[in-house]
Structure 1
Amino acid sequence: MQLSWKNSLPAGRGSRWLGGVTELRTERLLLRRWHDRDLAPWAAMNADPEVREHLGEPLTREQSDASVARFLAEFDERGYGWWAVEVRASGEFAGFAGLDRVDDGLPFTGVEIGWRLARGAWGKGYATEAARAVLAFGFGTLGLPEILAVTTAGNLRSQAVMGRIGMTRDLAGDFDDPTAPAGPLRPNVLYRIAAGAPDAVL
């Protein structure tokens, strides 16, 4: 599969324009466009039952590759989306982070932040570091008034990251995901952060 990337938005504060996409750099991470070399480690992540614990069944290689093609198309259309996350010191692919429109059929609308890391990248603070860069882009470059986050009620690690980046749980917004089967994937929680909140732009 050959990846392509078209133009999105010009870079804003704390970011750099490279290869038609806003590239975000943090102390340890590079959030960048997807490359062909990312497909294999991305597929390995998506086939890992522990990584997929709160997401559903593991993906096939074909499904995994198709998701990257979708990320590319959506970033070109919207000017934001899912970046590949790379460890700057080693060049190792660590996962993804970014912004997406809230899925149709959910009881609210807006733009949500998300992240997913390979197991080898867990426990190092990478999710928090990447998420802070994404928040800064969303508020500082896109001018979003609010950013949401959604996860399963049982995904306490992800909820901890949401808290660390300044998001607040909206208890009234808890909902059952209509696309999930009955069981632990159906109850979901909603977190919010507004532009101008203390941790909104870091």
Structure 2
Amino acid sequence: MADTIFETGRLVLRTEAPGDLDWWMENMNTPAVMRHLAGVQPREVFESKFARNAAGIAESGLGFWFMVLRDTGELVGHSGMCPIISPHAPEALQGHPQIGWALAERFWRRGLALEAARAVLARGFGHFGFDTIYAQTSDSNLASTAMMGRLGLRRVPELDYADPDFPAQDNPTTIYAISRDAWRADQ
């Protein structure tokens, strides 16, 4: 049984429920959704990611929560925070919280990712008490780059890094950040 983590105006963010992996493979593991996320992957990769995510939530409360429409109960994607653990990321980023999101293509351009991400930032600065929250993308991911700007995150180019796990068009990994003070000033 999934646990509700929090709700927004249109969304419930919850832990994994039975059937979520099957839904993910059908709706999220597509060329369009995975374009900037290392491409379509075999089921075993997501089984491992889901297990790590569930363990992270159980251990620290941090992870990516599944986004469900409040009105219909329909699963739309995920959003959340986790520690930066890429072996390619600079030492200054290691272990710090990063925010992220991904939605099934049919839910794009409805403001759902923005709504969820705003609530995730509020939870990060409020419930978890973080001083700074980071986000990672690439210049080729125009939608995420634009959303980071709408969320108030600013570029931190000195922390950009090359990640050989991603194709050339998605390198370098570009880093954005927002401090608790900057977030509060924008509320």
Moved more, 154-163 or 100-109: 100-109
SS of 1:196's partner is helix
- The 2-side partners of 1:89 and 1:201 are apart by 29
2:181 maps to 1:196: yes
SS of 1:187's partner is coil
SS of 2:34's partner is coil
- The 2-side partners of 1:175 and 1:104 are apart by 10
More helix by share: 2
SS of 2:121's partner is helix
Moved more, 166-175 or 119-128: 166-175
1:179 alignment counterpart: 165
How much has 1:36 moved relative to structure 2? Answer: 0.7
2:33 alignment counterpart: 51
The one-letter amino acid paired with 2:74 is: E
Count of aligned positions: 183
2:97 alignment counterpart: 111
2:71 alignment counterpart: 89
- The 1-side partners of 2:116 and 2:55 are apart by 22
**1:60-75 equivalences in 2 (<5 Å):** 60-75=42-57
Moved more, 167-176 or 134-143: 167-176
Deviations 1:144-169 (A, max 9, x none): 01000001220010011111111111
SS of 1:71's partner is helix
What is the TM-score of this pair, normalised by structure 1?
A: 0.83
- The 1-side partners of 2:53 and 2:9 are apart by 25
Unaligned runs of 5+ in 2: none
Structure 1 runs, 4 residues or longer, greater than 6 Å off:
none
- The 1-side partners of 2:113 and 2:11 are apart by 10
2:126 alignment counterpart: 140
Indicate which of 114, 124, 128 corresponds to 1:128: 114
- Aligned CA distance change for structure 1 residues 117 and 199 (closer, same or farther; 3 Å): farther
CA RMSD of aligned residues (A): 1.9
What is the TM-score of this pair, normalised by structure 2?
A: 0.89
Report % sequence identity: 38
How much has 1:201 moved relative to structure 2? Answer: 8.1
The one-letter amino acid paired with 1:120 is: R
Unaligned runs of 5+ in 1: 6-18
- The 2-side partners of 1:176 and 1:70 are apart by 24
The one-letter amino acid paired with 2:143 is: R
Q: In the alignment, is the contact (CA less than 8 A) between 2:6 and 2:14 conserved in 1?
A: yes
